[in-house]
Structure 1
Amino acid sequence: MSLVVGLMSGTSLDGIDAALLRCQADSRPQLLEALGFDMPAPLRQSLWSLCHAEGIDFAELARIETQFCRLQAQAVAALLAKSGVNATDIAAIGSHGQTIEHRPDGNFPWTCQLDNPNLLAELTGCPVVGDFRRRDLAAGGQGAPLAPAFHNALFRHDTQWRVLLNLGGFANLTLLPPHNSALPVTGFDTGPANVLLDGWHARHRGENFDSGGQWAASGRVDNNLLKRLLEDPFFDRSPPKSTGREHFHLDWLQPRLADETPADVQATLSELTVESVARALEQALTSEQRATAGLIVCGGGVHNGYLLRRLEQRLAPLELMPCEAFGWSPDWLEAGAFGWLAWRRLEGLSGNLPEVTGAAGPRILGALYHR
């Protein structure tokens, strides 16, 4: 039995999620404690500038990386204080880092997560496992998504199909066939989710996100705009596939706009997420499988009531199932996944699913930095 901490900072750049897990062989990972640690506005802006930089000053990169790492250490300290656990009791911290660029396709595939596991181990007094994605990339995979292996450990059912939909900056699916099936677990990114919704809302309303989807609900879906957005080749690509902010961003959106009102654009961006998820499911599952599957939704998008209502209407008869029924809050699954991947690294177990990422085979992910 091992206690591990998972750290995750997603594409929204709103903060660091920290989760404390208990992991052991032949048992589902247990969530013991979790918290969200807000990203200071200056650091958020610095990270945002790196994500869209045409050139990078290495001294500035080092400064931002150090600030980010110190914030991670503060999140770990707060989590351990909240849970009453000593740093010496932690087998490892699984640190995803902050994705700056993710370009898994082409002649020179690469991915870059801003992280400093050496400094994090020094500051926390805990072993750290970092750099999870590049081992899968080296084996010919996309390096993402990595969470489906964790979803498999948590949610797979003996006789029922289950689908997990993560609504973070980007939307991704994990398709979990029943244990009595010979079919493999699969998963892939379907397209943008909060990354465009948050960016458009911030541009026009001055706040980082559309609380409850209220602004989107005040608009009208523009089907002509939706059609133009869905013409992007990414949506028609077959899995394995992953994407990121370097593909979908407001500069991608701008030339596709005509004279729509800002609220109508927000409603249409919500519908883009809904429709791209729905089409992906229709391609991946038969109508019979969809009719009997349960849909578990997680990520920050679960707090967008308008988006969830539209998903429920569009994806029927898929039954929406709460993460809480399985002992997990939908907010902590991604952080939990990287804690679990760190445990897998310690145990010498593979962390990727080749059917998901396209890698040549199972690989042990991450590098270990001792306390």
Structure 2
Amino acid sequence: MLAALAALLALAALSGCSTMLWGTQQAPIVDATVMPVEPASAPVAASEPEPAETASNEPEQPKKPKKPVVKPRRVEPSPPVAAPPPPPPPPPPRQLILLRAIDRNAAHTLLDSQVQKPDGKPVGRAVDMIADAAGKPLEMVVNLQGFLGVGDRKVNFPWSAFRFTPSAKEAPITLNAGAVPAAANKASAPQLPMLDATVERANGAKVGRVVDVLIDGNAQPQAVVLDVSGMVSTERRTIAANWSALRFVTRDKELHPLLELSDAQINATPPYAADKPIRAVSPGPAPAPAASAVPAASAPGASAGGSPAGGSAGGTTGSAPSGSTAVAVSNARAVR
């Protein structure tokens, strides 16, 4: 305030001095209002002027319609395609034959084996065996000895009149005491002398000729020895065939032995020799039928028990003989 008053006084003094100098002209009185002076502040930056809107003479363009926003659909992955199953493996080669080893101490040949009495006295030699339609031995034909070969005669004895000792080297067959020859009157059922009988296949083709029969200690035939010379080769050759592989059929009121051995099977069979191990042959199992899309239970002709009709090749059924060994031979093997 003091500074303001001082300023007013100084102004008045100057006014009086001017009057004195320039006459009596009165200077106009100016009513001055002293405004308080505010301290200067920092300069405010001028804002940039807004651009004036320019009028456009062009007509407004119509707004383009907005394209609808299509959200991409989530593509569901397609289910994986199941790969086709791998082809089945090729079938193994067919087992053409089954071989069974027979101990020579457990079976002995029949032909020309010595027959003795219980006291060890020789009676004669076995020359043949008579079988029925079931393959069961009925009689044995013995060539009774005479004096110096004079008076020899063949006599049929019941099969039950003999005991067999295969391990005996001198006389493997013993005629029981009191045995009498078989009755002369023959039964009406056909019977078959085995020695020199021709074994055939079902189609009538010849397999071989019986040259011997192997008998075990229980008086049961185990195998037949067949001469197959001229069947698959020109050389002389014999093989042993399992007795269980034989079938007996009646044709023209005569009994015929059958054995379903093909040329390839005969060719694959090891030869029979007196100084070699015995390996008796049987036909291999029939090939399995091809797989069918129709279940076995719904297939026409299926039996109630689910077992297929029919049997194995050769007309025999059942399992292979005990102790048999399968021998796989290719069907494409050439017949020698």
TM class by smaller structure: under 0.3
TM-score, normalised to structure 2, is 0.21
Q: TM-score scaled by structure 1? A: 0.20
Higher RCO (CA-CA < 8 Å; seq separation 6+) = 1
Is the strand fraction higher in 1 or 2?
A: 2
